[in-house]
Amino acid sequence: MHSHAPGDDDTACPVCGQPYDQRIVIERGDRWADVFGGPPFSVLQQYERRCTSRQDVERETVRSDDERVLYFHGADGPAGTR
């Protein structure tokens, strides 16, 4: 599992084209507790929308079949900037 919050110079979500608050790469076999560290609703309530893709905009590549990139969008836009 990899996690990173984008800065102003990063690109938008490849699924919806909107800026995102957080990007997480998950791999087959990752458990919820390993990736998020808390109960499911803590993450699901924090973000208004979640997009999933094999396209990794930060690495400018397509992830393997065993990996997905999650892009999390908050209600107020990236880091509350909207």
For 16-57, write each residue's pLDDT tens digit. 999 999 999 999 999 888 888 778 777 778 888 999 999 999
DSSP state of 53: E
Distance CA 58, CA 74 (A): 19
pTM over 0.85: no
CB atoms < 10 A from the CB of 49, how many? 15
| CA dist list (Å): 66 to 30, 33, 69 | 10, 18, 11
Considering only CA atoms, which of 52, 62, 71, 78 is closest in space to residue 3? 71
